[in-house]
Structure 1
Amino acid sequence: MIISQILNNNVAIVKKGSNDQTRGNEVIVYSKGIAFRRKVGDTIEEEEIQKTYVLDSHDKLEHFSYLLSNTQEDYLQIVTKTIEYGEKVIQKDISDYLYLALLDHIDFAIKRLRKSQIIKSPLDWEVRKFYPDHYKIGLYAVDLIEKATGMECPNEEAVSVALHFINLQSQGEEADSMMKMMEAVRNILSIIKYHYRLDFEEDSINYIRLVTHLQYFIVRMFKGEAHSSSESELNRQIRKLYPEAYNCVNKIRIYVKDSFEKDLSEDEEAYLMLHIQRVTKREEDN
């Protein structure tokens, strides 16, 4: 491989073929001291390289090159260790694009920490509840940041790191649907909370059951697979037994109709009333 640009002692841009003059054939290589006392045009052997970054566009290559030239070595180590850990946790190979995205994020996050600027993610609750493995990766990154900088890094930053891994696994329309589904669950829980004027005990079995039911309900609704049955009499009995739960479900019905142009089946109504009654009765008793 021929060096076309030296970024620092540890990082260089090289051409993969000695006869190829196009920038599209360039990759970024990393290894401790790999570019020390070398110059453009020198050769680097494969066995000298610890990590090769292959990016799919010239713009990304330029952006990554700039970041590597202007961020500390410690930051790249945080990113590398986080991604290696993440691959083990989610058991999936990760594209080199994540190195670029995560290095950009870590660099900016540390600058914000130095200024005591904390940004809380609006998806904090959803990520913690629906993506515990990805959140674990974020916490791992937070720990690395604290060790590298000596500053306390809030767990809100773990959510932001986790989202990079979540978005990488769910691209395009799938990622958009995922975000909409998480938001829908959160909004329905808010409707229940404000209807009953209750703060939920989020570790309780009944609350976890409610959240799980809502997750599956929203997925079925998005896929057009909502439950339907002829159990009208059961629905009517539950309405009479738990009129407050029925009033709450009516609010959920309006939200679902306005937001997604979907109707709640009687079957879904019945399930929701039972789950809502169970969790709110427990909270009121407490």
Structure 2
Amino acid sequence: MIIRQIFNNNVIRAENQVGHEFVVIGNGLGFKKKNGQPVDEDKIEKTFVLKSDKIPQKLIDLMGETSVEYLTLADKIVGYAKREMGDIFSDNIYISLIDHIQFAISRYRKSVGLKNSLLWQIKKFYKREFMIGMNAVELIDSQFGIQMDEHEASFIAMHFVNARQDGQGMQQTVEITEVIDDIFNIVTNQYDITLDENSFNYSRFITHLQYFVQRMVSNEQEQTASGDNFLYDQVKDKYGKAFQCTQLINHYLEDKFESAMSIDEKVYLTIHIHRVTSRNEMQDTE
């Protein structure tokens, strides 16, 4: 491997013989070295494959200061997440995850556990991220002998929710989760049913809510209609109960964000509500 960029004494960017670049960590790898010189491979402790050419300075500093065992653990967790959900996370996941893991392990060693008030919502609306969190606490137990609970798994899951949604702030992730929960409760209360969480329509409904609410919280929702008022009228007439539910959700969003849904959003949400509730209603009448 050849040195392409020296970040500090312990962290460099290197290129292998076929032109692939890596971030390489090892004690003294960059000390008194220059770009173009060969990497002292005996000193390599950890190699990362990152997505971005512009690596955040905080991540570089963190890699230079953090114990390799924490970096290795974080890399295993991110690797599992990518296998389960694809390479959809920003490199910033390493920053938040390493920070969280170090603090969490320190807390648990002092017998200080925290409760996540959004545990139920995370398990319900972000099942794959919660699965990643559960895998993470198993890896922590295996590597450090510390048994963490599902509350800690849900905290880790939230970092992956955050990294998947363009690196938004954690507070915004919390707000989005709370709004999804409120909308979910409006639907289930209006229909007085329990939705089938294993159904394909449920999965599509939750995914739609995640992206729709993210746009609403970020104030990026589409306010202009497509001009297809015919479709709007058709959906309104054909799916009357679902449309009434959409109107209740719209009133809730107006009160919370002082911003109404567009005609297109009402159409899409009404269709999703009809689909996710129709099977349950048929089962309830059987």
Q: What range describes the TM-score normalised by the shorter chain of this pair?
A: 0.5 to 0.7
Q: Helix, strand or coil: the match of 1:78?
A: helix
Q: TM-score, normalised by structure 2?
A: 0.60
Is contact 1:200-1:207 (8 Å) kept?
yes
Structure 2 match to 1:117: 113
CA distance in 2, matches of 1:166, 1:113: 23
Q: Helix, strand or coil: the match of 2:230?
A: coil
CA RMSD of superposed structures (Å): 4.8
Shift of 1:194: 3.4
Q: Pick one of 100, 103, 112 that aligns with 1:108.
A: 103
Structure 2 match to 1:262: 260
1:181-215, CA deviations, whole angstroms, 9 ceiling, x for partnerless residues? 55543321111233455444422455445435545
Is contact 2:11-2:63 (8 Å) kept?
no
Equivalenced residue count is 248
Is contact 1:201-1:283 (8 Å) kept?
no
CA distance in 2, matches of 1:213, 1:55: 31
Which blocks of at least 5 consecutive residues in structure 1 are unaligned?
Answer: 1-11, 17-26
Identity of aligned residues (%): 24
- Cα distance change on mapping 1:104 and 1:255 into 2, 3 Å: same
- Cα distance change on mapping 1:202 and 1:276 into 2, 3 Å: closer
1:12-91 superposed matches below 5 A: 13-14=9-10, 29-30=25-26, 46-48=40-42, 49-51=44-46, 56-57=56-57, 67-68=66-67, 74-89=69-84, 90-91=86-87
CA distance in 2, matches of 1:212, 1:93: 17
Question: Which residue type is aligned with residue 41 of structure 2?
Answer: E
CA distance in 1, matches of 2:160, 2:235: 44
Structure 1 match to 2:249: 252
Is contact 2:25-2:64 (8 Å) kept?
no
Which blocks of at least 5 consecutive residues in structure 2 are unaligned?
Answer: 1-7, 13-22, 49-53
Q: Helix, strand or coil: the match of 1:79?
A: helix
- Cα distance change on mapping 1:82 and 1:76 into 2, 3 Å: same
Q: Helix, strand or coil: the match of 2:25?
A: strand
Question: Which residue type is aligned with residue 40 of structure 2?
Answer: E
- Cα distance change on mapping 1:212 and 1:252 into 2, 3 Å: same
1:271 aligns with 2:268: no
Q: TM-score, normalised by structure 1?
A: 0.60
CA distance in 2, matches of 1:185, 1:246: 18
1:44-67, CA deviations, whole angstroms, 9 ceiling, x for partnerless residues? 95212233689744x766665554
- Cα distance change on mapping 1:271 and 1:13 into 2, 3 Å: same
- Cα distance change on mapping 1:75 and 1:213 into 2, 3 Å: closer
CA distance in 2, matches of 1:62, 1:148: 24
Higher gyration radius (CA) = 1
Is contact 1:75-1:103 (8 Å) kept?
yes
Structure 1 match to 2:154: 159
Question: Which residue type is aligned with residue 250 of structure 2?
Answer: R
CA distance in 1, matches of 2:11, 2:215: 50
Q: Helix, strand or coil: the match of 2:148?
A: coil
Question: Which residue type is aligned with residue 46 of structure 1?
Answer: D
